[in-house]
Amino acid sequence: MADECFGHPRLAALYDPLDPDRSDLDAYLDMAEEFGARRVLDIGCGTGVFALLLAGRGIEVVGVDPAGASLDVARGKPGGARVRWIEGDATALPPLRVDLATMTANVAQAVADPGAWHGTLRGAHAALRPGGRLVFETRDPARRAWEGWTREESYGRADVPGVGTVESWHQVTEVDGPLVTFRTTYVFAADGAVLTSDSTLRFREREEVGADLEGHGYVVEEVRDAPDRPGREFVFVARRPDA
Ligand SMILES: C[S@@+](CC[C@H](N)C(=O)[O-])C[C@H]1O[C@@H](n2cnc3c(N)ncnc32)[C@H](O)[C@@H]1O
Distance 120 CA to ligand 1 centre (A): 12
- Cα 67 to ligand 1 centroid, rounded to whole Å: 8
Following DSSP, what letter does each residue of 48-94 receive, concatenated? Answer: -HHHHHHHTTT-EEEEEES-HHHHHHHHTSTTGGGSEEEES-GGGPP
Pocket of ligand 1 (CB under 6 A): 2-3, 6, 43-46, 49-50, 65-67, 70, 89-90, 104-107, 110-111, 116, 120
Spatial CA neighbour of 119 closest among 89, 88, 91, 87: 91
Q: Answer yes or no: are the C-beta atoms of 120 and 43 closer than 8 Å.
A: yes
CA–centroid distance, residue 46 to ligand 1 (Å): 5
Q: How far apart are CA 173 and CA 200, in angstroms?
A: 10
Q: What is the mean pLDDT of the chain?
A: 96
**How many angstroms separate the alpha carbon of residue 86 from the centre of ligand 1?**
13
CA-nearest of 215, 164, 162 to 187 is: 164
Residue 142 has pLDDT above 80, yes or no: yes
Protein residue closest via CA to atom 3 of ligand 1: 105
Question: pLDDT tens for residues 1-29?
Answer: 445 567 688 999 999 999 999 999 999 99
pLDDT at position 214 over 80: yes
Q: Collapse the DSSP code of 185 into the 3-class scheme (helix H, G, I; strand E, B; otherwise coil) and give the result.
A: strand
Nearest residue by C-alpha to atom 14 in ligand 1: 44
